[in-house]
Structures are given as structure tokens and as C-alpha cells.
Amino acid sequence: MLATRVVTRTAAPLRSLPAVQCLRAQSTWSGVPQGPPDAILGITEAFKKDPSGEKINLGVGAYRDDKGKPTAEQQVVQQNMDKEYAGITGVPDFGSAAALLAYGPDSAPLKEGRIAMTQSISGTGALRIGGAFLHRFFPGAKAIYIPTPSWANHKAVFSDSGLEVKQYRYYNKDTIGLDFDGMVEDIKKMPKGSMILLHACAHNPTGVDPTEQQWRSISDAVKEGGHYPFFDMAYQGFASGDTDKDAFALRHFIKEGHQPCLAQSFAKNMGLYGERVGAFSVVTASPEEKARVDSQVKILVRPLYSNPPVHGARIASTILKDPALNKQWLGEVKGMADRIIEMRALLKENLEKLGSKHSWNHITDQIGMFAYTGLNAEQMTKLAEEHSVYATKDGRISVAGITSQNVGRLAEAIYKVKG
């Protein structure tokens, strides 16, 4: 009887099943659309699939040595390092060392205890904390102006923080350089008291930075408009090879009375990519105000990730605080920057030797890891399909991917598609 009943029930037509069981067959996530692929990761995937033995990857945003290999700084691994939680704002020694590196030993806000500092999940995490803090507490309009173009993730980070993202002119396609007049004009046209994002050095993706005199004029325009500056400094030391020189813009703004906030990353300048070491800081008017800002940043961080990871921050703080290690690190940073500067010069030299009819001065005028070549999307596609040279469609290349072995072939490929 039991077997008969089981067979009978099993053989029942599907239409007799309760409606709720039919509904369960529909996934909760069936309405989620396919997101667009990440442009940079897509380049890396295409590069890996290319069977050419001479392929070149100029899309990656990570340092490579002259053999094309990834490198990390000499790292200090402490014996018996504990794995206890750090506080919400991270490893204290790291916070103080990061602040000193960015703001400098002569910084009045630093000496007076007016800088609220928190360790973050690299530079992206610092930007996200900053966006959330500004959205919650900035007294003006909840909109931030970013340069055109800017790092691809800036818009998403600030939009997801609740801020409206607007743009100001920065890059001039005709000159392949800075649109300084357009930039200052747009700053002056912004509503009074606007928020503005500024790349402290080694602008990503263009490699085009203002001169020190231009930074002074930009500071004046920002002050005149009562605007609030948010600096993103992901490449300190990587632009010129001098960490103090690369911090000029930030430090000048502070000397001129601005009270900016700052996002720092130690991915590039210490090779700590996977360790996700960064910091977010706010210059305040007083130690009392700093304490209040600190308290609110902690409230923001607690439900995000509670505590930052400690290993990379301890490596960074050890390097920054130990005089001998710090000297060695500064030498290594200069060596990396010098190699990139050398590759720029070699690329330009090789293009000129080939008889290119175009000026390539912009390659050596630009600074940092990235360069805007001036090639269009069609030409970049030809580089990939016909010459196995991979980079983003906007003409940006990672100079770190150029080596003394591949620079000649790269120049030939560019010459063939550009002339």
C-alpha cells in the first residue's frame, strides 16, 4: 500500500502542485542584469589569450621592472607578529607615519594635532570613507567635481557614497597636455563652496600634472570660490622620485589656509598591492574639532569593515619609521621613478628614429606611471589586433610595462598605426 501511494503521488501531473512551489522555481535574482566587464581586466584577459611570444601588456596599473616582472619593496617581516585586531582607525604607528609622509615635518596642522587620520583599505577605501563622510557632514551641496578624465573608479566610488558627480576640464586632446585655462575657468564657475577632487601628483590616467606655479593659481581659484579640496595621492614618490616634491600641491594648499581631506595609497610606492594599505585624513581647525571628526569617521568605518588589516600597515610603518629602512625605501622609489622616466625617453627616441612625422614631446612631458599617447580608439584596436600590444582604448599606456627589450618593437607598432 505504501509503495502504491508513493508511486501514485509521484506520478501526479505537474499542474496539481501548489502555486507556491512553482513560484520557488523562479530565482530571486532572475532580474539582475549582466554588468559591463571591467575595461582593465578585459585587457589582461585578452593579453593572456594572445599566443604571440612578443605581446606587450600596457594596461596593467602595477609597477614592473626592466624584465617585465612585478616587484615589491624590501619588506620587513617581524618575528612572532601578533594578529590581534587593530582599533577602528588602524595601526597607530602607521597612521602617524603616513601623516608625516604626506604633510611633512613642518606641517602646522600636524604639529598642532589637527589632522584626523584613519587607516583604510588602500586608496579606494580612503576615497569611499571620504565620500561617505562628506555626504553625511559636508554643509554644502552633496556634489563633487572630478577632472575630465579621471581615474575610472572615482565616479563609482563617489556615486555609491551618495554624492552627485560632476566634472571640470583638465585634459586638452589637441595639445595632449593640461587644459589649464579651462580648468581654472571651470573652478571659478562652480557654485560657491563646492567640493573638488584633485590628483596630488602623477594624474591617472593622463600623466599630465600642473606645474608648481599652476598649482598656486589653482589654489587661489579654489580659495576664491570657497571650495573644499579633496586630494587623491596614490603615487607619492612615483611621479618625480621625490616624496616631498610630489606632495607640493597638498602642502601648498595647507599653507594657503585650506583644510583639505586626503586619500593615500601605499600600493604603488611600496609594492603592497594585495596588502591594501591606505589612509584617509582630514585637516581640521583645532584638536577639539579633530576629535569630533575622528569619532564620526569611526562610526562610518565600524559597519563597513570594522577594523583594517594589520600586516601591510605594520610593514609600511616599519619602513617609514626606521631611518635606515626609510633611506633604502626612498632610494628604491627613486629608482622606480627613474626607470619610468628613462622608458619615456627611449620610446620618444625610438619613434623619432623611425621618422615619425608627429611630435612626441608629450611622452616625456607627462609624469608618473601612465601616459596618454594621443592615439585614438581605432589605432589602439590595431595595436592589439595587428601587433599584440594591449592597452585601453583611450590611448592610455602604462609606462611601467615598457622595458628596454620591448621599447623598440612598441615604437615600431605605434609608428605603423600612427605614422
80: cell is 612572532
Distance CA 97, CA 91 (A): 10
DSSP class of residue 171 equals: E
Element (H, E) at 120: strand 115-121
Which of 187, 186, 134, 126 has the alpha carbon at shortest distance from 161? 134
- CA distances, 205 to each of 1, 395, 397 (Å): 76, 10, 9
Active-site position among 179, 186, 209, 232: 232
Per the CB < 8 A criterion, the answer to whether 123 and 265 are in contact is yes
Is residue 151 part of the annotated active site? The answer reads: yes
The label of the residue with cell 562610518 reads 300
Reduce the DSSP state of residue 36 to 3 states and report it. Answer: coil
379: cell is 589605432
DSSP class of residue 70 equals: B
Active-site position among 151, 215, 329, 360: 151
Q: First-to-last CA distance in the chain?
A: 87
Is residue 329 part of the annotated active site? The answer reads: no
Active-site position among 166, 179, 186, 268: 268
Checking DSSP bridges between strand 389-390 and strand 56-57, what pairing results, if any?
Answer: parallel
Number of H helices, E strands in the chain: 18, 13
Task: Give the count of beta carbons closer than 10 Å to the beta carbon of residue 244.
Answer: 14
Which of 198, 197, 38 has the alpha carbon at shortest distance from 131? 197
Which of 240, 222, 54 has the alpha carbon at shortest distance from 231? 222
Is residue 232 part of the annotated active site? The answer reads: yes
Q: Active-site residue numbers?
A: 151, 232, 268
